[in-house]
Chain A
Amino acid sequence: MSVVHDFTTDVLTWNPYVEPVDLDAATQSQRAAMGVTAATRSVSVYTRVLAHDAQTLQSRTPLFNAIMYGKEGLSRGDRELGAIGASIYNGCVYCTSVHARFYQQFGAVPDIIETIFAAGTEAKLPEREQAIFDFSVKLSHTPPSATPDDVRRLKSVGLSEAEIVDLVRAAALFGWANRLMHTLGEPQRG
């Protein structure tokens, strides 16, 4: 097993720095937060790490699913691009690998992932994707550096205010996810 430092679409494993909750030793609330039922055979290591804080995991899972996979509003591919902008800026190799694969599956523009991996936050993209990517990167800065002009640019490439709301949440959500995945463990290959 070797630690992965470069952005990739390879399927990686995640090795935690803290001990995951043992399914057999989990409390009732931890089992509920992990979604464990009688039929459950295994739960991901990441979810078992987050189960240490069952109350937060219990709300975080439906929030994550609604923001990323909700049926209405911004397209799935555009949400994934928002997630990727945040993850690239925050340097989360694991989150980037997962959501880059999702973009390749759901996104509209070919070769975009290769371009982003080659140039990072400076990537030159088609106009619409550039507006989405740049806004997501700037919202990820601390403090956030996105401006009203960045929002007007999103409108000019065709996003409605409702879709921009969805993009804000998708990019912000990875300000959350990256700060767990990149800091509580590391991605490995092999």
Chain B
Amino acid sequence: MLNQTVEARLEASCGLAADHPVMALWRRNDIINRAEAGSELAVLDPAEPGAFPAPTRAALAARMARECGSDALAGEYGSLASQGTADDENIAHGSPLDWIVDTGLRAAARHCDLLTLNPTGATRSDIEALREAGFSDADIVALSELIAFVNYHVRCIEGLRLIAEAGK
């Protein structure tokens, strides 16, 4: 499903060419390069997807990237979600939660919104709500990692863009 590499997606999202000098600084550590690519694959298209098939993961990622103001990354993830369901489409486009028909997906999207927009406000009751929606502990941890990774990645992209902009 990940039909382009994490590298190409990053370049498209921050608007920098692969040979931009800041990109060379960004990619100067191979351990980090490999681990970032491995993390993105693990949250977006894992070998064992559990409750969240790849198009749903991409849709949730697109929703969160949009909430973080990264329309370019949202577009990249959104294109990965295009094989998904009507719910996936609503999730990816940032539609209101009550447009999402599946109650489990609605709970998952709600958790994405909460942790992206107001992580400080998360409590035990938010994990209990996911359990009540039918998710296992493994699903809850996988969803949390997806949320956490996207929030990391958008800040990397924004930081890169700012460094390049400041150097002009």
Contacts and interface: CB of A to CB of B under 8 A. Distances in A.
Interface of A: 17-19, 49-50, 52-53, 55-56, 58-60, 62-63, 66-67, 70, 72, 90-92, 139-140, 142-144, 146-152, 155, 161-162, 164-165, 167-169, 171-173, 175-180, 182-184, 186
Interface residues of B, number: 56
Looking at chain B's contact residues, the main secondary structure is helix
B152 A146 contact: no
Nearest to A70: B29
B137 A18 contact: yes
23 contacts: A50-B141, A52-B142, A55-B47, A56-B142, A62-B35, A66-B31, A90-B120, A91-B120, A139-B159, A142-B68, A142-B69, A142-B151, A149-B166, A161-B22, A161-B25, A161-B167, A164-B159, A165-B22, A172-B152, A175-B151, A178-B119, A180-B148, A182-B122
A18 to B, nearest CB: 4
A26 B116 CA distance: 30
Given A52-B137, A165-B25, A60 B144 contact: no
Given A53-B145, A144-B68, A148-B166, A179 B115 contact: yes
Given A52-B141, A176-B151, A146 B162 contact: yes
Question: Most A CB atoms within 10 A — which of B32, B141, B160?
Answer: B141
B50 to A, nearest CB: 9
A63 B154 contact: no
B56 to A, nearest CB: 15
Interface in B39-77: 39, 41-43, 46-48, 67-70
B158 interface: yes
B48 A18 contact: no
Nearest to B117: A142
Contact of B46 (A19, A55, A66): A55
Contacts of B149: 56, 176
A153 to B, nearest CB: 9
A172 B147 contact: no
Given A55-B47, A63-B35, A162-B28, 12 more contacts: A18-B141, A19-B137, A52-B141, A53-B46, A53-B138, A59-B39, A62-B34, A151-B162, A165-B163, A168-B156, A176-B152, A179-B115
